[in-house]
Amino acid sequence: MHPKKEVAWEAVQLVDDAKRQVAKEAAMMVTDGQILGLGTGSTTHYFIQKLGERIQEEEIDIMGIPTSYQSFFLARDCNIPITTLDEHLPDLAVDGADEVDPQLNLIKGGGAAHTLEKIVDSAADHFLVIVDESKIVKKLGDFPVPVEVIPSALKPVTEEVKIMGGVPSLRMAQMKDGPVVTDNNNFILDVQFSTIPNPEEMEKELNNIPGVVENGLFIDVAHEVLVGTSDGVKHMKK
């Protein structure tokens, strides 16, 4: 293997190891009888798999509320019983993030599932975020803010976020022609801001635009963050 490719592969492997480590620790925090919000994304993927192993090995009694088709299908394949918010509110929600700041504010939505994620995570008694250390930032904003938009409102929403100082980009699908279509049959605008001086106000301002379903700023929602690092798992709390 070429030296540069070998270094790149090792870096990817280190991140993957950190994700597995933090997902395992989160899964071990789950207790018998809990209702769980099951997030979406690569780190949460490992968490759901570990939960399935615990159900098989320890016969713990839990139920999951998926936040996307991806987490629904994975939970089903891992033999995790499925429920809904109509039937139960989650005791614990476990989800990943694209950015986490020192106040535990988040940017989420890289997987285009942030609308249901915000609903489930906010409804939980305890919201636990699991990430690798590359997601920890001093200030939110390097990652664009995902905004879920009703398709017929795409043009006016695009113009409004430009007025706010954002640079919007319609997220395009891979392995299919056209834009990404969410589980709610909407589009995603990824909006890059040069700065986000007040994340709380921006979250509200974006959601006040007619046609916006939800945005990826999760402000004052997370209770705890587990961070996978090369030195083990670190805890962040408010």
Domain membership flag for residue 172: yes
75 and 11 together in one domain: yes
Domain membership flag for residue 57: yes
70 and 176 together in one domain: no
In terms of residue numbers, what domain contains 116? 3-136+219-237
Domain membership flag for residue 214: no
What DSSP state is assigned to residue 80? Answer: -
* Residues sharing a CB contact under 8 Å with residue 162, sequence separation 6 or more, in sequence order: 168
Domain membership flag for residue 103: yes
Residue 224 CA: distances (Å) to CA of 93, 94, 235 = 11, 10, 7
* pLDDT at site 72: 98
Distance between CA atoms of residues 234 and 18, nearest Å: 11
- The tens digit of pLDDT for each residue in 52-91 reads 999 999 999 999 999 999 999 999 999 999 999 999 999 9
Phi, psi of 140 (to 5 degrees): -65, 150
Report pTM.
0.94
The domain that holds 42 is classified in CATH as 3.40.50.1360
**127, 93 Cβ separation under 8 angstroms:** yes
157 and 130 together in one domain: no
Domain membership flag for residue 33: yes
Q: Is 210 exposed, middle or buried (0-12, 13-18, 19+ CB in 10 A)?
A: exposed
The domain that holds 190 is classified in CATH as 3.30.70.260
124 and 170 together in one domain: no
SS3 per residue for 9-70: HHHHHHHHHHHHHHHHHHHHHCCCCCEEEECCCHHHHHHHHHHHHHHHHHCCCCEEEECCHH
Total domains in the fold of the chain:
2
- The tens digit of pLDDT for each residue in 173-224 reads 999 999 999 999 999 999 999 999 999 999 999 999 999 999 999 999 999 9
* pLDDT band at 3; cut points 50, 70, 90: low
Domain membership flag for residue 181: yes
- The tens digit of pLDDT for each residue in 119-161 reads 999 999 999 999 999 999 999 999 999 999 999 999 999 999 9
* pLDDT at site 7: 45
**151, 158 Cβ separation under 8 angstroms:** no
Point out the catalytic residue in the list 6, 59, 99, 117: 117
Beta partners for 149? 187, 212
Residue 107, classed as helix, strand or coil, is strand
117 is catalytic: yes
